[in-house]
Amino acid sequence: MSDLINKQVILKSRPVGEPKESDFALVETPTPEPGEGEILSRTIYLSLDPYMRGRISAGKSYAASVELDSVIVGGTVSQVIKSNHPQFQVGDFVLSNNGWQTYAVSKGETLRKLDPTQAPLSYSLGVLGMPGLTAYAALLDIGQPKEGETVVVSAASGAVGAVAGQIAKIKGARVVGIVGSDDKRDYIVKELGFDVGINRKTQELDSALKEAAPNGIDVYYDNTAGVILETVLQQINLGARIPLVGLISEYNATSTPSGPNLMPLLIKRALIKGFLVSDYQHRFNDFLRDVSGWLQSGQLKYKEDVVVGLENAPSAFIGLLRGDNFGKLIVKVNDDPTAA
């Protein structure tokens, strides 16, 4: 054991419906020593993402559940402080899966080295990381927007939606974003260049969509499912494509909600295809080349919502599921030595 104290957020009880802070607990434990081929790293940034809600449920999802009293999983940027692996030196920055804790031991093979001169470190948890690849591959490989087509994006100011919508604009589509506040609506239209933003909490979605997409909807980038998908389905065009990327609307549900009626899929010969980013690692290099380029040219903008302190992760995560965050939600667990 090292003499460093490891702060961890563990799962105390499985949330029913919306998670409560009491479902989580902050504990301190000794920091383990790295074994052969392993490295010990200090967490700098922790990414909070809606998929984590599935991991803390007992129910079957696309990955194993987090056990009770275990550290909650999560992608992180961390700095190597001890290394028994030839490819990593003390001081290196790495993309890791430390989860909700200040230190972790990892096998070298699971880490990717980061270059802080290329982009801010935290970007590799967002626009240049898993959420960015999710936006890129689901939009381009399943949605396949063509110039002049209409693309609708739900959760459009989120880490994934904001990137998906901007890529659709770059590809020449008309882009409509659905968000949950006027601030977010202004942001996606004025800052990100979406053609139209709809605040689903104050506008009647069906008529707002009809007005925003007078020629119908060709691609629906679906982060939410539920009633938004149901409404969109009534307005899809022949051969529409719907990458089903998230079901945020039902992550907190206590029983399985019904889905939309699928008749429009048949009438319009449209497709809904489930998407999980882990199937698209072969697109990572294309993604990094394109999205880095668009960021540098200013065609693509990126906003982060940074919460300071691991102890604030539970409340930030609870807010994320409600849509309280604005931009990619990141927890700053320790100081970032590369930040200005």
Interaction site with its own copies (CB under 8 A):
60-62, 225, 229, 244-247, 250, 256-276, 279
Closer to its own copies by CB, 21 or 62: give it.
62
Q: Is the CB of residue 175 less than 8 Å from the CB of residue 200?
A: no
Closer to its own copies by CB, 90 or 263: give it.
263
Cross-strand partners of 114 = 93
Question: Which candidate, 121, 127, 94, 129, places its Cα nearest to that of 110?
Answer: 94
Closer to its own copies by CB, 222 or 304: give it.
222
Query: 10 Å Cβ neighbour count for 168?
Result: 28
| Minimum distance, C-beta of residue 44 to its own copies, in the bound complex (Å) | 30
Q: Is the CB of residue 157 less than 8 Å from the CB of residue 187?
A: yes
| Minimum distance, C-beta of residue 256 to its own copies, in the bound complex (Å) | 5
Handedness of CA 102, 107, 108, 114 (dihedral sign): negative
Closer to its own copies by CB, 91 or 257: give it.
257
Q: Is the CB of residue 267 less than 8 Å from the CB of residue 246?
A: no
Q: How far apart, in Å, are the Cα atoms of 338 and each of 77, 78, 143, 240, 291?
A: 12, 12, 37, 44, 22
Write out the two tokens for 229.
Answer: 């998908």
| Minimum distance, C-beta of residue 154 to its own copies, in the bound complex (Å) | 14
| Minimum distance, C-beta of residue 148 to its own copies, in the bound complex (Å) | 21
Closer to its own copies by CB, 125 or 142: give it.
142
| Minimum distance, C-beta of residue 285 to its own copies, in the bound complex (Å) | 21
- The SS3 assignment for 148 reads coil
Closer to its own copies by CB, 39 or 142: give it.
142
Give the type of residue at 230. E
Question: Which candidate, 160, 163, 269, places its Cα nearest to that of 218?
Answer: 269
| Minimum distance, C-beta of residue 142 to its own copies, in the bound complex (Å) | 9
